[in-house]
Amino acid sequence: MCGIVGYIGKQKASTIILEGLKRLEYRGYDSAGVATQVNGGFELAKKIGRVDGLMKATRAQKLPGTTGIGHTRWATHGGVTDANAHPHISSDQKIAMIHNGVIENYVGIKKFLLTKGYTFQSETDTEVLCNLLAYHYQKEPANAEGSRFLEAVRKTLRHIEGTYGIAVMCADCPAEIVSARKGSPLILGVGDGEYMLASDVSAIISRTQNVVYLKDGEIVHLTAKNFTITTLESEDVSPVIDKVSWTIEAAEMGSYAHFMEKEIFEQPLALENTMRGRFSEDGSTAVFGGLNISAIDFRQVDRFHFIACGSAWHSCLVAEQLIERFARVPVEVDYASEFRYRNIPLSKNALFFAISQSGETIDTLAAMREAQRKGYKVLAINNVVGSTIAREADGGVYQHVGPEIGVASTKAFTSQLLVGAMLALYIGRMRDMSFSSGIEYVKALKGVPDLVRETLKLAPQIKDIANRYAHYHDFLFLGRLTLFPVALEGALKLKEISYIHAEGYPAAEMKHGPIALISEQCPSVFLVSSGEMFNKVLSSMQEIKARKGKIIAIVSANCELPEGLADEVIRIPECHEAALPIIATIPVQLLSYYITVALKLDVDKPRNLAKSVTVE
């Protein structure tokens, strides 16, 4: 969740670290801090609030030194205070540390360290880890064959239970940083005479596109001249340097007011990139190059299991309906956070899909590992090349939508919907979907980017509606079949960025309880399409109207609503049922965005949330 940045080179470390922290602020913005190494000690600046506040209210930008570490925090252990902000300095002033993750056995370690004379200024598990490293460093004998500092880090981590991504400096070791990971992402940037560490590529892309994605259990030792990577067991690792395919401009806001706005309007291009090169030459099916499973083995699958969290879980619910509809194979969808704690009967020939934009979602990663432990193959759908889930999966699909900075997922979500629709086609064509149906399906998906462009033209109308409804405190989002998950997503978007209470329900379930909420003060957003569900959804709308509830209807273009039934009507293009969830998502994204803007809230950094959830 937290943002980590480290720098070692010839430039002023604090300036470079603060720039990196600004780019990582979507990972946590409760507090921020920087420490640099100077004259056998540390210069430190940290403060609650945003990175801008740290820069304005402290001497952070003036810290001297060419080696340093920085952190932007999403609070886990301990409240949001200056004392709990990172970096932490050990009580003997020997170690400076930043940390992302959770140390589960910190209470017992803290009790032990108190008996050894170590003192604590914060409530955090990180300060405990920092002092434990100081303890082992003092005990570690000078080692002619290696760094005493490095060996102390290695010994310390062997006593840890939980997850971590750390970057550490030692007062006795000028121009050195040691970093390690287990369950929390860390990336090494290899620049021209300099090295950087970060929990996300966006923090280092302005200085280098050459990166090493560290794996769990790996430790990197940086000096001003070189780096080495070893394991917790002291085994040498040969680094693989990858090149990031996007540039710094992709992670900047440009002329938009917010990253969320930018990413909503980037969706046509993002969807084109997701499907590029992924249809057969005859235009009848999808093609995936990285699944690492043969067509014969794919045909043996008798059940698909999808595991994900948050918006990605909603995309799985759509994939479930499309795969069952077009491929006639049963699908199960589980919250990744619940999956490994359930004793689920699994069929012999099941295949798993793990969906995570970042590829680092800790619950999804744990669920994936549990499925693999039971002998099942897991394919990943994610957006970050080199991420942990991408590396550990047995195969998968990259989304290729570019960096998503806004905490509320937009273009990554619609891309996940598109990949799910393409999987339904791919599996269906292996089974009983006809060639002509495949041609029709592919044509519909290829037309999605243009339909999204057309739908985005509704933004001024939706902004006007948002301004009229921003003062309400409760919303219902209602839909049927594949539009029910879109209703869930619409409710999630509204509550996570505007803090307005919202619930998503199948429209028919409304009368089984939620109808009690209906009043003039609780608007309902209906997602309405033509087809067999049209009249049934109209009946649900009539029930709400009879109770004086206000209705915002998002309807397919050829749906004729009775006069006066809806207070607001947003007409989206008519489209194929596989494309419908994508097109219907655009208005709910815009509605939530413009309501939040009208309330003058921070769209990109909603309270209590972070972009990548890397702690359980």
Q: Which residues have a catalytic role annotated?
A: 2, 611
Give the residue from 571, 284, 324, 565 showing the smallest Cα distance to 444. Answer: 284
- Residue 114 CB neighbour total at 10 angstroms: 12
Q: Which residue has the tokens 């243009």?
A: 450
- 476 DSSP β-pair partners: 503, 524
Please tell me the chain's helix, strand, coil percentages from 3-state DSSP, rounded to the nearest 5. Answer: 40, 20, 40
Name the DSSP letter for residue 430: H
CA angle 49, 54, 59 (to 5 degrees): 155
CA angle 152, 225, 37 (to 5 degrees): 55
Q: Which helix (H) or strand (E) holds 322?
A: helix 310-326
How far, in Å, are 41, 66, 69, 159 from residue 170 at the CA level?
A: 8, 14, 12, 19
Give the residue from 286, 329, 277, 299 showing the smallest Cα distance to 419. Answer: 286
d(CA 208, CA 195): 9
d(CA 430, CA 419): 17
- CA of residue 106 relative to chain centroid, distance: 27
Query: Counting beta carbons within 10 angstroms of the beta carbon of residue 482, is it exposed (0 to 12), middle (13 to 18) or buried (19 or more)?
Result: buried
- 279 DSSP β-pair partners: 286
- Exposure b/e, 212-224, CB count within 10 A at least 16 = b: bbbbbebbbbbbe
d(CA 200, CA 606): 19
d(CA 79, CA 420): 40
- Residue 473 CB neighbour total at 10 angstroms: 10
d(CA 170, CA 179): 12
- Exposure b/e, 116-129, CB count within 10 A at least 16 = b: eebebebebbbbbb
E-strand spans in 104-243?
164-170, 176-182, 187-190, 195-198, 210-213, 218-223, 227-231, 236-237, 242-243
Give the residue from 32, 59, 55, 25 showing the smallest Cα distance to 43. Answer: 59
d(CA 480, CA 537): 8
- 4 DSSP β-pair partners: 71
Q: Which residue has the tokens 């509809």?
A: 325
Number of H helices, E strands in the chain: 19, 25
| Cβ proximity of 43 and 64 under 8 Å | yes
